[in-house]
């Protein structure tokens, strides 16, 4: 095992290599079965990302404050563009430009950072994708690891597919439920679109997920469970106080806008 760890240390130039080396190191240090080593690495990484999640929650609250204004502007744009007669292409472009300027002004008013709004979800998605790719690569390459008997219960062999489909269906169901929990109180048009897109991607990914080796779900399922626990904690008053997440409220202008919708 020490030789394997040294061989990984040579190639720590990519995120997948770092993830693989971390899992191997944790497995050697804890002497736990592979399924437990992968699950433990999931908890370690997700816990390390918790400060980033706090910033994402604050950013999402600011976006929620801007959502009524953006929805109202979108309704105005739709109403203007609905009548196709007598509207030139230049006028259409001007309407769209006005809409974009209004959205930008609303986001500035509520201190919404466009970079943060995109960066936080992108980082989380990148970590998830990197872990799935890394574990799948480790299992495919072998590299002397004993994944054949690294599982438990009905999925003893982490290199094989779960023919019962229990693991892939459990992983997708947890991801679906976690997405619903995350957007449980978000009624704005942008939030609904993001949630619907997430649901569609989960459903469309069924054929691809069903052929993943069982070892991948040793990360996926604990990660989804961690997300559910994290969401519940962040939505609670205790979590808000402990993490010092500010309570943001609508400005009078936004309240009047929301009443128009």
Structure confidence by residue, pLDDT tens digits, 126-168: 777 888 888 777 777 766 667 777 778 888 888 888 888 899 9
Q: How far apart are CA 23 and CA 134, in angstroms?
A: 10
pLDDT digit string (tens) for 185-210?
555 566 677 777 877 888 888 888 88
Question: Cα dist. 169→157, 205, 227 in Å?
Answer: 18, 11, 17
| Cβ atoms of 107 and 66 closer than 8 Å | yes
Dig out the tokens for 228 from the structure: 């559910």
Closest CA to 213 of 40, 38, 43: 38
Residues 225 and 177: their CA atoms lie apart, in Å, by 10
Per the CB < 8 A criterion, the answer to whether 140 and 100 are in contact is no
Higher pLDDT, 140 or 184: 140
Q: pLDDT (tens digit, 9 = 90+) per residue, 3-60?
A: 444 444 444 456 777 777 888 888 888 888 888 888 888 888 888 877 777 777 777 7
* End-to-end C-alpha distance for the chain, whole angstroms: 62
CA angle 114, 239, 61 (to 5 degrees): 25
pLDDT at 119: 72
pLDDT of residue 251: 52
Q: Give the pLDDT of residue 12.
A: 41
Rounded CA gap, 132 and 214, in Å?
A: 11
CA distance 23 to 38: 6
Q: Identify the band that residue 94 occupies on the pLDDT scale cut at 50, 70 and 90.
A: confident
Highest mean pLDDT among 16-20, 84-88, 98-102: 98-102
Predicted confidence at residue 2, as pLDDT, reads 43
| pLDDT at residue number 128 | 79
Q: The tokens of 241 are what?
A: 């106080």
């Amino acid at each position: 095992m020490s030789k394997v760890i040294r061989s990984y240390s040579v190639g720590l130039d990519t995120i997948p290599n770092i993830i693989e080396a971390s899992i191997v190191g944790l497995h050697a240090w804890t002497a736990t079965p592979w399924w437990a080593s992968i699950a433990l690495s999931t908890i370690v990484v997700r816990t390390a990302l918790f400060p980033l999640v706090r910033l994402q929650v604050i950013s999402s609250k600011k976006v929620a404050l801007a959502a009524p204004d953006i929805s109202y502007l979108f309704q105005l744009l739709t109403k203007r563009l609905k009548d196709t007669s007598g509207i030139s292409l230049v006028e259409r472009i001007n309407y769209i430009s006005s809409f974009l300027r209004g959205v930008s002004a609303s986001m500035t008013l509520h201190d919404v950072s466009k970079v943060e709004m995109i960066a936080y979800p992108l980082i989380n998605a990148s970590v998830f994708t990197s872990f799935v790719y890394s574990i799948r690569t480790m299992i495919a390459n072998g590299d002397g690891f004993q994944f054949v008997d690294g599982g438990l219960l009905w999925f003893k062999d982490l290199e094989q597919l779960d023919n019962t489909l229990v693991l892939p269906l459990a992983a997708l169901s947890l991801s679906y439920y976690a997405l619903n929990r995350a957007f449980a109180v978000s009624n704005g048009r942008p939030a609904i679109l993001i949630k619907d897109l997430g649901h569609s991607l989960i459903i469309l990914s069924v054929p691809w997920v069903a052929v993943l080796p069982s070892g991948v779900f040793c990360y996926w399922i604990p990660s989804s469970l961690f997300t559910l626990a994290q969401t519940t904690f962040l939505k609670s008053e205790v979590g808000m106080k402990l993490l010092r997440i500010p309570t943001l409220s609508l400005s009078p202008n936004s309240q009047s806008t929301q009443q128009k919708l």
